[in-house]
Structure 1
Amino acid sequence: MPHRKPLILVVDDDPGILKLVTLNLELESYQVITARDGKSAIQLVENQQPTLVILDIMMPGIDGFQTCQGIREFSEVPVIMLTAKGRTEDVIQGLAAGADDYVVKPFSTEELLARVRAVLRRAKFPEDMPQPPFSSGDLLLDFGHHQVTINGDEVLLTPTEYRILCLLARNAGRTITQDQLLTEIWGQEYCGDTHILQVAVARLRKKIADDPSSPKYIVTRPGIGYTFKKP
């Protein structure tokens, strides 16, 4: 069900982190629910339908990666991963599991709140000007309904994945640089963060069945960016 104010689920087995993050989110007028393990988190996403999930990686039982994968089986809710400092492999694995962004521990309250605002902003589909659907082979992109289909079957994309596809499709035949994509989709402060872009594009390709070794839609320009093939 829709929430008048964003409902944020915070998942961490550390009660101190839960308390601190909850307090600061509530001070910003967000609604907050919490979980201390992955199984409870998955159930809360299904039952409460939060607007955003903040998810720690290191938890007993089901870790953050497995929890994110479980959420992605039925929901495209934005997920921010909390990862340990210097663990680049955790960042890549978290993004591959379906996370939309990450915050490195230890983090400041200001940094976390800035990421929350940025992810919530990206989660809102843009108000598109009326324009006809875009088609390329088996892929149909309906801008008016924010819907993507392959051979008539709907493909569930996260808001970030949808924005990437729209930007590339609207510029079909042109190469969009990595920094252009990062700035347009994530924001100026993400310039140079190629991990988050490469993993997001890889997830998008997987969902639209686009083999990078023989792409039907998205062509990689190594060291430069990406091009959507002209229909």
Structure 2
Amino acid sequence: MPTAKILVVDDEPAIRNLIHRFLLKQNYEMESAEDGKTALHTFDKFKPDLVILDVNLPDTTGYQLCQEMQKRTDVFVLMLTSRSGEDDKIRGFSLGADDYITKPFSLVELGARVGALLKRQRAVVPPEQPTITVGNLKIDPVRREAVLNQEEVSLTALEFDLLYFLANNPGRVWRRDELLHHVWNYDFVGDRRVVDVHIGVIRRKIEPDASHPSMIHTVRGVGYKFEPPENSETSD
């Protein structure tokens, strides 16, 4: 099996070098960058499987860099941040980040997150699955796009997989651990609230009123379910 390639982007030499040396000892192929310009140049040449990306960089933000990298490939992105606020997590996930880890962190935890991400497979939804139509929302697995009121909804790969999975199992209540297993497709070792953050992002994109969702419902103490509005038609 080929060795996974990892790019570390952080402007703090101590943190960047520490991560680089630690993962190199785990037999990963490593490259590092201290700013956005160098990171993109290295990214294009190195073609990493995963990028460990600091939010704060001298010439750009990790959010902008994440978005640019996601336009070029479907690389996995693990964000490093000193911020623990929900808004920062939502912003990162909405731009395609797969996971986040808050500074300070342990190298053991970082290694576990990296290993778990690299086990995950992209495009969890097989293209032969049927298109789902719920009222004015159409979810097409072949094109991997969602259309609401005849306008395409901008979804990351993970957001699409999560939305399709829920819509393809209407009425079924899913625990967070179950969603992590089926949609993330690996044994998640981070904060399970990552599910809540992604659900919140999707609601903002497809619900008329995200604070009073009509499609993706919270089942308190359990998890989430997709329940179409009573006056909508569902087809596949």
Which residue number corresponds to residue 187 of structure 1?
Answer: 187
CA contact 2:84–2:102 (8 Å) conserved in 1: no
Paired AA for residue 97 in structure 1? G
Aligned equivalents of 1:47, 1:210: Cα separation in 2: 43
Pair 1:40-2:38 in alignment? yes
SS in structure 2 at match of 1:79: strand
SS in structure 2 at match of 1:135: strand
State the Cα distance separating 1:150 from its structure 2 match: 1.4
Pick closer, same or farther for the CA change 1:44–1:162 going to 2, 3 Å: farther
Pick closer, same or farther for the CA change 1:210–1:163 going to 2, 3 Å: farther
Pair 1:88-2:84 in alignment? yes
Pick closer, same or farther for the CA change 1:60–1:8 going to 2, 3 Å: same
Pick closer, same or farther for the CA change 1:188–1:102 going to 2, 3 Å: closer
Which residue number corresponds to residue 57 of structure 1?
Answer: 55
State the Cα distance separating 1:24 from its structure 2 match: 2.8
Which residue number corresponds to residue 173 of structure 1?
Answer: 171
Aligned equivalents of 1:156, 1:53: Cα separation in 2: 22
SS in structure 2 at match of 1:201: helix
Which residue number corresponds to residue 149 of structure 1?
Answer: 146
Q: CA RMSD in A?
A: 3.6
CA contact 1:212–1:219 (8 Å) conserved in 2: no
State the Cα distance separating 1:48 from its structure 2 match: 5.1
State the Cα distance separating 1:54 from its structure 2 match: 0.5
CA contact 1:150–1:208 (8 Å) conserved in 2: no
Question: Structure 2: which 5+ runs fail to align?
Answer: 229-233
Which residue number corresponds to residue 231 of structure 2?
Answer: none
State the Cα distance separating 1:12 from its structure 2 match: 0.6
CA contact 1:65–1:94 (8 Å) conserved in 2: no
State the Cα distance separating 1:211 from its structure 2 match: 4.3
Aligned equivalents of 1:207, 1:126: Cα separation in 2: 21
State the Cα distance separating 1:77 from its structure 2 match: 3.0
Paired AA for residue 147 in structure 1? R
Which residue number corresponds to residue 11 of structure 1?
Answer: 9
CA contact 2:138–2:147 (8 Å) conserved in 1: yes
Cα deviation digits, residues 144-181 of structure 1 (max 9, x gap): x4723316776664443233223312321223234433
How many residues are matched? 222
Question: Structure 1: which 5+ runs fail to align?
Answer: none
Which residue number corresponds to residue 110 of structure 2?
Answer: 112
Paired AA for residue 88 in structure 1? S
Aligned equivalents of 2:153, 2:43: Cα separation in 1: 20
Which residue number corresponds to residue 140 of structure 1?
Answer: 139
TM-score by length of 2: 0.72
CA contact 2:116–2:189 (8 Å) conserved in 1: no
Pick closer, same or farther for the CA change 1:140–1:129 going to 2, 3 Å: closer
Cα deviation digits, residues 44-94 of structure 1 (max 9, x gap): 44665432210123333423344335545666532211233xx422x6404
